[in-house]
Amino acid sequence: MKTFISRWFPTRPRLSRLEQLVLGAIRKDLHPALVLQWDRQVQTINRIQRLSEGVEVQFFRVSPDRSCLDDAIAFPNQTEVLLLGQVQVGLADVREMLVASVWCIKGVLFCIEYAGSVLRFEEAAGRRAGAELQVACRLKADMRCPGATWSITGPGHSL
């Protein structure tokens, strides 16, 4: 019975504090006309897949029978695969930086790809030590206009 109920009424997965920090940084830099759409995309995530060692986090919106990309929540820029932006996270007492690349597929938030050691930053974010974390965000694409990008970079590049 529990399986039946969870299939039709799944509990919503929780974003980690680091994921919230990264997605919040992107949200802060989005054009104001896109913020409500962004919020809908984040709120409709009902499956999260975290790859081993934290190198990538994928977000899904899944109905009981299949995965779906909802055009109603997609941004006007519906490029097949697009680097939306990069968020650089630093710790006050550590020289190492974490770069989080945020990707969209067909105008919908799909994943965060990390370059750097995620565990240390995840622990710091989990301690709610906001003053200890420094965050810088740089958008790479204009989601208001189909096909618009500001700079072309691939995964693993720095801000």
Residue 29 pLDDT > 80: yes
With H, G, I as helix, E, B as strand and everything else as coil, classify residue 105: strand
Question: Can you point out the beta strands (E) in 52-132?
Answer: 56-60, 81-91, 97-105, 108-115
Question: Is 89 or 1 the better-scoring residue by pLDDT?
Answer: 89
What does the pLDDT read at residue 125?
75
Lowest mean pLDDT segment, chosen from 84-88, 98-102, 127-131: 127-131
CA angle at residue 84 from 81 to 90, to 5 degrees?
130
For the entire predicted model, the pTM comes to: 0.81
Question: Is 73 or 149 the better-scoring residue by pLDDT?
Answer: 73
What does the pLDDT read at residue 39?
97
Query: Would you place residue 152 in the very low, low, confident or very high pLDDT band (cuts 50, 70, 90)?
Result: very low
Lowest mean pLDDT segment, chosen from 32-36, 83-87, 148-152: 148-152
What integer is the mean pLDDT of 133-154?
77
Listed by start position, the domains of the chain span 17-139
What are the φ/ψ torsions at residue 41 (nearest 5 degrees)? -65, -45
Residue 51 pLDDT > 70: yes
Cβ contacts of residue 84 below 8 Å, gap of 6+?
A: 26, 102, 103, 104, 109, 139, 140, 141, 143
In the DSSP assignment, the letter for residue 62 is B
Query: Cβ distance 30 to 143 under 8 Å?
Result: yes
Averaged confidence pLDDT in the chain: 82
What integer is the mean pLDDT of 108-128?
84
What does the pLDDT read at residue 157?
40
What integer is the mean pLDDT of 51-57?
88
Q: What share of the chain is helix, strand, coil (3-state, %, to 5)?
A: 30, 30, 40
What are the φ/ψ torsions at residue 61 (nearest 5 degrees)? -120, 105
